[in-house]
Homo-oligomer: A and B are copies of this chain.
Amino acid sequence: MAGAAGRGGCHTIRGAQIKELLQSKRNVLFDCDGVIWNGETAVTGAPEVVRLLKQQGKRVFFVTNNCTRPRENYVQKFSRLGFTDVAEEDIFSSAYCSAAYLRDVARVQGKVFVIGCYGVQKELLNAGVTMVEEDDDGPDVSIYDCPLDPDVKAVLVGYDEKFNFLKLAKACCYLRNSECLFLATDPDPWHPLRGGRVTPGSGSLTAALETASNRKATVIGKPGRFMFECIAGQFNLDPEQSLMVGDRLETDVLFGTNCGLSTMLTLTGVSTLKEAEEYKGSDSPEKKDSVPDYVVESITDFLEALEE
């Protein structure tokens, strides 16, 4: 079977091989950014790929470390880009899963101090998790004398374009209490923007807080197993029946390996085939686990396999 034969093999596959692989799987998990779309542009054929997979009885899930949108906005984006059949239940973002973790696993009794964007805040609100109200701190408010909320029992860090020194310092003070939980939505260090620019990811902001607090965050997103457990818990997934398709070796592929899934790298995003091949020759177990079983140029390549 293609799945077993290919483990960590970094095999570039096409048409009939993709068909054989998909026939051996019931579930397909896609990362979004760099896989399904780039910014506001869908990868060519991606809406049709998702439609055909569903039509052929596959269960399709979207597993993204991108915490900027709540599930309901992801549904809107899918629809806007031509995906006609994606529902909220199919979408597992690091924001949604962080809220699930706080509510169902940590069962936080108290408030959460959030460094994060609208997507994070909205998912926590949807989950009924209580947050510290965001102050509109003026320029004269400082860590020397600002109020700190004694009910804070967890700090959650995600992507936040309004990140600033005072938020970092407050979080740092909350984490002085060793009983205060320290969570991060995802470990992504940076994200590509247009024109060769980059933007710092949640992992960058988390690194600042880890250093300042001398603590390590519990990271919810890929490559950790928790997002797969969220999906598996709701949909009773068998890892051996599941394929993870992503564009980042250290998050998507490693996540797949960590969860016992077959893994596929698609080259429409961040990581390159060269990097994957270098990792194959590496001595580091983590890098070896980040080598995909399969490689495709683009999920456009699924079309040929699905239409035959």
A residues with a Cβ closer than 8 A to B are 142-144, 148, 160-166, 168-169, 172-173, 176, 189-190, 193-194, 196-201, 203-214
Contact of A144 among B163, B173, B197, B211 (CB under 8 A): B197
- Which of B193, B196, B199, B204 meets A211, CB within 8 Å? B204
Cross-chain contact A165 with B197 (CB below 8 angstroms): no
Q: A163-B164, A163-B165, A173-B198 are in contact. Are A212 and B193 (CB under 8 A)?
A: no
Chain B residues with CB under 8 Å of A189's CB are: 211-212, 214
A142 and B200 CA atoms in complex are apart in Å by: 12
Tell me if B211 and A197 are in contact (CB < 8 A): no
A168 lies within 8 A of B212 (CB): no
Contact B204 A208 (CB under 8 A): yes
Q: How far is the CA of A173 from the CA of B193 in the complex (A)?
A: 10
Decide: B176 and A199 in contact? CB cutoff 8 A: no
Contacts of A165 in B (CB 8 A): 160-164, 200
Q: A270 → chain B, closest Cβ, in Å?
A: 11
* Chain multiplicity (copies): 2
Q: What distance in Å separates the Cβ of A139 from its nearest Cβ neighbour in chain B?
A: 9
**Minimal beta-carbon separation of A140 from chain B (angstroms):** 12
- Is A200 in contact with B164, judged by CB distance below 8 angstroms? no
Q: When the two chains form their complex, are residues B144 and A172 in contact, meaning their CB atoms are under 8 A apart?
A: no
CA distance A142 to B144 in the complex (A): 28
Question: How far in angstroms is the closest Cβ of chain B from A181?
Answer: 18
Q: Are A212 and B198 in contact (CB under 8 A)?
A: yes
**Given A160-B165, A165-B161, A165-B164, does the pair A196, B208 have CB atoms closer than 8 Å?**
no
* Residues of B contacting A144 in the complex (Cβ-Cβ under 8 angstroms): 193-194, 197
Q: Are B212 and A200 in contact (CB under 8 A)?
A: yes
8 chain-A/chain-B pairs, Cβ below 8 angstroms: A162-B165, A163-B165, A172-B200, A189-B212, A190-B211, A200-B212, A204-B212, A207-B211
**Cβ contact within 8 Å between B200 and A173:** no
Known: A144-B197, A190-B212. 15 other contacts (CB 8 A): A142-B161, A143-B161, A143-B199, A160-B165, A161-B166, A162-B164, A162-B165, A164-B164, A172-B204, A176-B198, A189-B212, A200-B212, A201-B212, A203-B212, A204-B212
B-chain residues with CB within 8 Å of residue A207 when the two chains form the complex = 207-208, 210-211
A157 and B160 alpha carbons, distance in the complex (Å): 20
B168 touches A190 (CB 8 A): no
Q: State whether B200 touches A169 (Cβ < 8 A).
A: yes
Query: Please, which residue of chain B has its CB at the minimum distance from the CB of A166?
Result: B161
Once bound together, how far apart are the Cα atoms of A193 and B201, in whole Å? 29
Distance in angstroms between the alpha carbons of A162 and B198 in the assembled complex: 21
* Interchain CA distance A211-B157 in the complex, whole Å: 15
- Which residues of chain B have C-beta atoms less than 8 A from A198's C-beta? 169, 172-173, 176, 212
A179, chain B: closest CB distance, angstroms: 15
Contacts of A211 in B (CB 8 A): 189-190, 200, 203-204, 206-207
